[in-house]
Amino acid sequence: MTNAAAGDPDVKALVYIAAFAPDKGESALELSSKFPGSTLGGTLAPVPLADGTTDLYIRQDLFRQQFAADVSKQQASLMAVTQRPIRDAALSEGSGEPAWKNIPSWFLVAGSDHNIPVEAQRWMADRAGSRATIEIRKASHAVGVSNPRPVADLIVRAATAR
């Protein structure tokens, strides 16, 4: 999102929901290590690919506590078996020029996120000049599933801002 929206005149607002907002050259891995709190690394199951890269999945037995602690067991189980992997290269690749430098942004901080440290989320929101940052203290990284109303409200707020 940070790079895809850059230079697009149709994009009027960015809404970061428990998300990375990297600056140019920064990687997700770098940002997740900038502050303490991420336990993601110890939960990942690597799957080597033919091209020499690796897909990373959160182990199903650890998925709920890592990713979706505030989601029902049934929903978290479904999420665990249907999760999309992240490629190792995507975590370490440096970002391009960020759109948040020129497009207004809004942030939702998941206060119990074990993937992206809460302090990192707050720091990125502040650095990006967030128009509004809301925090849901007990929300996991799956805040869009566990707390859809505040997520939708923030998106509407950004979409209707002048």
Task: Look at residue 51 and tell me whether its pLDDT is greater than 70.
Answer: yes
pTM: 0.94
**Sequence ranges of the domains in the chain:** 14-159
d(CA 80, CA 58): 8
pLDDT digits (tens, 9 = 90+) for 63-97: 999 999 999 999 999 999 999 999 999 999 999 99
Amino acid 49: pLDDT: 96
Q: What is the predicted pLDDT for the residue at 95?
A: 95
Class of domain 14-159: alpha beta
pLDDT, tens only, 120-141: 999 999 999 999 999 999 999 9
Banded pLDDT at 2 (limits 50, 70, 90): confident
